[in-house]
A = this chain, B = another copy of it.
């Protein structure tokens, strides 16, 4: 138990590379093996050949180790910037979110496994929600920079995130395994129908 399972030989190299990645890997393994609650930060660190203190130098808290990898937000805001300026706000948001979908379709099983973990732990749901909310705010800010005025910018971003959430859930549960993009488009079409009816 005293460091016998360290992957890298510390006699030659002061620090094994990719400490952050090793911590994420170890965390995923342990959460899968014995569950989130039953896993200690100390255990994660030890499996990665590090100490608890070092874990907290890489991640702000225990939950963050599950969310640090996805730089979804930066990528999407960049995507939005590349969309033609004259695109309507909601259409721009929709196009941006489609880019996110491409990240999902390739790793369906991995995403499903991750979501199962999150669904079983309210504290993880909270973290997921604040990540999505932050993404929504970032999209709104990006829209504002394109000249969209304020009620519309936030509204488009938030409505887009609403569709995204529903589409994501349906994509997860879809037995036919249709592409995420398909669910997204269904969602935006459904929203259009709903608002037209009201």
Q: Which A residues lie at the B interface, using CB under 8 A?
A: 88-91, 94, 122, 125-127, 129-130, 133, 151-152, 154-156, 158-159, 161-163, 165-166, 169-170, 186-188, 190-198
Contact assessment for B196 and A195 in the assembled complex, using a CB-CB cutoff below 8 Å? yes
Contacts of A129 in B (CB 8 A): 126, 129-130, 133
| Bound complex: CA A156 to CA B194 (Å) | 7
| Bound complex: CA A122 to CA B198 (Å) | 35
Q: Would you list 8 pairs from A and B whose C-beta atoms are within 8 A, ordered by A residue?
A: A89-B197, A125-B130, A151-B170, A155-B194, A159-B159, A159-B163, A192-B195, A195-B195
Q: Which residue of B lies closest to A169 (CB)?
A: B154
Q: How far is the CB of A162 from chain B (nearest CB, A)?
A: 4
Contact assessment for B155 and A90 in the assembled complex, using a CB-CB cutoff below 8 Å? no
**Of the candidates B122, B151, B155, B190, which one forms a contact with A151 in the assembled complex, judged by CB atoms under 8 Å apart?**
B190
Q: How far is the CB of A125 from chain B (nearest CB, A)?
A: 6
Contacts of A154 in B (CB 8 A): 166, 169
Q: How far is the CB of A176 from chain B (nearest CB, A)?
A: 14
